Structure 1
Amino acid sequence: MRIGLAGVGRIGAFHASTLTGLDAVDEVVVADLDAALAERVATEQGLQHAPDIDTLLGSGLDAFVITTATTAHAALLRQALAAGIPTFCEKPVAATLDETIALTELSEASEVPVHIGFQRRFDTGYRRARAAVESGELGTIHALRALTHDQEPPHAAYIPTSGGIFRDCSVHDFDIVRYVTGHEVATVYATGENKGAEFFGAAGDVDTAAAVLTLDDGTLVTATATRYSGGGHDVRLEVMGSDGSIAVGLDDSLALRSAEEGVTFPAGPAHRSFMQRFLGAYRAELTAFCDVAAGRTPSPCTVRDALQAFRTAEACELSRAQRRPVAMSEIPDAPARTKATA
């Protein structure tokens, strides 16, 4: 299988390296708006490179991976669909809700498979939690606690184009809550504050946020996010039921210390980045994409899945801004239709 990859920044170079180690992949060809960077990454990893992304897309690919900046995702996904190339796209598929809705409709009207990069769906812990819920092992699920706490904030230049902490960070929690429970979000109430660098507030964002979600079956979810978790990269999920509870991320890498005397758990070391935390999940995710591209399986995470998570993030931003609960019915999932005039 010959796979093209557009965008060789941090996650792009990481995915390129992962792809080269997969049995299904014969060749990886990379391209970037910065042609010199693409050539350097290709040389370092023993890959091929194309002079630009248009040339890459026209070079006879079996599959295409989009890991560019968010602002380029939508246009590249449209190009790939038009070219009939099975595509893996890192989240989000677009920077705005309207464009995400448009791409959802375009993708669903096409026979070209698209796999969106929500890697937690391929993490063994989250899969175990999903199985516990599906089997009834935990009884009636009444509450979940989800968190994504980055060890340190990204560069200041990233924040104005990130979409905000809910769209950039918590969106992973919103997706995995749907995946684990099998239910949709009905209402949200969200808030956030800044206690760190001034560039968050300058971009209209916050460095720490919290949301209370109510699912369509009445289950309550609390989701927290921060850019400042100095003890380590901390991503967890707790699922609490009438017959038992289960936790994802509760191992010796936990970036949390006990205040109780004599307790030595966790032994450490803590994870320092999301790539380290989800190394196995990323490999499993791209292996699954190869199966999708080969036509062996349907996409395990569609553009509509991405839309649903994005809608929840939109609702949280609206709730934070207006300081009120927001019903998901307020957030569109289809284009606005103009009423026909008589």
Structure 2
Amino acid sequence: MRIGLAGVGRIGAFHASTLAGLDAVDDVIVADLDSALAERVATEQGLSAASDIDTLLASGIDALVIATATTAHAPLLRQALAAGIPTFCEKPVAASLDETIALTELAESSDTPVHIGFQRRFDLGYLRARDAVAAGDLGTIHAVRALTHDQEPPHAAYIPTSGGIFRDCSVHDFDIVRFVTGREVDSVYATGENKGAAFFAAAGDVDTGAAILTLDDGTLVTATSTRYSGGGHDVRMEVMGSAANLAVGLDDSLALRSAEEGVAFPAGPPHASFMQRFLAAYRAELTAFCDVAAGRIASPCTVRDALQAFRTAEACELSRAQRRLVSMREIPNASAAPAGSSSSSSPTPATKATA
């Protein structure tokens, strides 16, 4: 299988290396608006390079991975759908809700599969949590705690185009809450504050956010995010039920220390980045995409799935700005999926954790 990769920045170069190591992949062809960067990455990793992205799309590739800047996601996905090329697209699908809705409806009217990059769906801890919820092992789920705490903030130039902490950071939590619980978000209340660098406030953003989500069965979810987790990169989930509780990310890499005497856990070291934390999940995710592109499985994370997470983030930003509870019925949604569509807008019970 020949895989085209558009965009070779930090995550793109990381994906290039991962793809090159997969048994199903015979060749990886990379392209970037910076052709010199594409050539350098190709040389360093023993890959092929196309002179530009249009040439890449016309080169007879079997599938495409989009890892460009966010502004290029939507037009590239449209081109790929028009050409019938199975596509993996990093989140977000588009920079705006309107464009994400339009792409959801376009993708669902096409026979070409699209897989959106929410790698936590392929992390064994989250998969096991989903299995436990689906099997009823935890009893009635009454509360979930989800968090994404980055060890240090991104470069100041990234923030004005990031979409804000809920769309850029917490959106992963919003997706994985749907995935693990099998429920939809009904309403949100969100807030945020700045105690760090001035460039967050200058961009209208916050460096720390918190949201309370009420799911459609009454389950309460707290989701927190920050750009300043000095103890290490910290991504976790706790699922509390009437019969048992379960935690994801509770191992020796935990970026948290106990204040209790004589407690040595966790042994460390903590993770320093999301790529380190989810290394195995990224490999499993791209392995699954090869199966999607080959027609062996349906997309495990559709454009509609990405839309639902984006809608929740949109509701959080509205709530933060207006300091009020926001119903998800206030947030526009795509029209119903056509009959026979592979959309998974209504989460279903888990498959076994085999990723």
So what's the TM-score if we normalise by structure 2? 0.94
CA distance in 1 between counterparts of 2:68 and 2:230 reads 28
CA distance in 2 between counterparts of 1:186 and 1:313 reads 13
Q: Match for residue 15 of structure 2?
A: 15
CA distance in 2 between counterparts of 1:47 and 1:83 reads 23
Alignment map for 1:1-342 (pairs within 5 Å): 1-334=1-334
**Structure 1 residue matching 2:228: 3-state secondary structure:** coil
**Structure 1 residue matching 2:239: 3-state secondary structure:** strand
Structure 1 counterpart of 2:153, one-letter code: P
Structure 2 counterpart of 1:91, one-letter code: K
**Structure 1, unaligned runs of 5 or more:** 336-342
Structure 2 counterpart of 1:10, one-letter code: R
CA distance in 1 between counterparts of 2:284 and 2:216 reads 30
1:247-273 Cα distance to aligned partner (Å, 9 max, x none): 000000000000000000000000000
**Structure 2 residue matching 1:292: 3-state secondary structure:** helix
CA distance in 2 between counterparts of 1:329 and 1:306 reads 17
Share of identical aligned residues, percent?
85
CA distance in 2 between counterparts of 1:60 and 1:72 reads 21
1:106-160 Cα distance to aligned partner (Å, 9 max, x none): 0000000000000000000000000000000000000000000000000000000
1:45 Cα deviation after fit = 0.2
CA distance in 1 between counterparts of 2:212 and 2:318 reads 13
Structure 1 counterpart of 2:11, one-letter code: I
CA distance in 2 between counterparts of 1:196 and 1:76 reads 35
CA distance in 2 between counterparts of 1:334 and 1:244 reads 36
1:264-290 Cα distance to aligned partner (Å, 9 max, x none): 000000000000000000000000000
1:70 Cα deviation after fit = 0.4
CA distance in 1 between counterparts of 2:237 and 2:272 reads 18
CA distance in 1 between counterparts of 2:227 and 2:302 reads 28
Structure 1 counterpart of 2:203, one-letter code: A
CA distance in 1 between counterparts of 2:196 and 2:71 reads 26
Structure 2 counterpart of 1:32, one-letter code: D
Count of residues in correspondence between the two structures: 335
Structure 1 counterpart of 2:220, one-letter code: L
Structure 1 counterpart of 2:252, one-letter code: D
**Structure 2, unaligned runs of 5 or more:** 336-355
1:334 Cα deviation after fit = 2.8
**Structure 1 residue matching 2:43: 3-state secondary structure:** helix
1:46-92 Cα distance to aligned partner (Å, 9 max, x none): 00000000000000010000000001000000000000000000000
**Structure 2 residue matching 1:186: 3-state secondary structure:** strand
Structure 2 counterpart of 1:29, one-letter code: I
CA distance in 2 between counterparts of 1:333 and 1:33 reads 32
Structure 2 counterpart of 1:307, one-letter code: L
**Structure 2 residue matching 1:213: 3-state secondary structure:** strand
The root-mean-square deviation of aligned C-alpha atoms, in Å, is: 0.5
So what's the TM-score if we normalise by structure 1? 0.98
